[in-house]
Chain A
Amino acid sequence: QKEVEQNSGPLSVPEGAIASLNCTYSDRGSQSFFWYRQYSGKSPELIMFIYSNGDKEDGRFTAQLNKASQYVSLLIRDSQPSDSATYLCAVNIGYGGATNKLIFGTGTLLAVQP
């Protein structure tokens, strides 16, 4: 079983719509969760992080975490063509600050249609 799972997509949404990206993880002890955006040929860019159950909003982005269901999601409101990229979910399986070790999903390709 993969430690972090994402639907590879592509997820196609029209401009202005809400894009919903999902991720599940297997390690119940995971403490922190991250969403990265990666454009083709570029390195991953951190766009959201969440540590506690519930929602966290930053501009057009909302991260949602449900530790009981081992589920993390990212909502992108008012999607723009410039949001078209691969979105990587990452989980830090280090405990209590003892280490940094991010386990990444394979990424979801998002395509926003003008």
Chain B
Amino acid sequence: KAGVTQTPRYLIKTRGQQVTLSCSPISGHRSVSWYQQTPGQGLQFLFEYFSETQRNKGNFPGRFSGRQFSNSRSEMNVSTLELGDSALYLCASSPELEAGGYEQYFGPGTRLTVT
């Protein structure tokens, strides 16, 4: 199976602009999660989508939003970009498993630089 794909891989934006990142999960995976990774804060959970519904959200401001489509592909949007939003944005998908846990598989990430 093909892995998780993310586009674009690299992005440079200016403060105040907005950006949309895209993620295609592994075929058959219905859960998509987004994470932000920075040197200072490490890997932090942004939100998770399952069957087009946001199931959980991390502690990020409302400028960060996302959505999931009927084919499980997901997008995340960051509005009014700030310098501190420069990070590696990672998408992960999970298969449907019985209760107890889910393995998450990460895509290659989108490296966002805000200038």
Chain A residues engaging chain B, CB cutoff 8 angstroms? 31-34, 36, 42-46, 49, 51, 88, 90, 92, 94, 96-107
Contact = CB atoms under 8 A, between A and B. Distances in A.
B106 A104 contact: no
Nearest to A95: B99
Nearest to A42: B108
A43 B43 contact: no
B11 to A, nearest CB: 16
A49 B104 CA distance: 10
B55 A51 contact: no
A102 B104 contact: yes
Contacts of A51: 100-101
Contacts, number: 75
Contacts of B88: 43
B106 A44 contact: yes
Interface residues of B, number: 29
A46 B42 contact: no
Of the listed residues A32, A42, A88, A96, the one surrounded by the most CB atoms of chain B closer than 10 A to its CB is A32
B1 to A, nearest CB: 14
Given A49-B101, A107-B42, A99 B48 contact: yes
A97 B90 contact: no
A82 B101 CA distance: 29
A32 B100 contact: yes
A55 to B, nearest CB: 17
The 3 closest A-B pairs by CB, nearest first: A32-B101, A97-B99, A104-B43
A96 B45 contact: no
Contacts of B105: 46
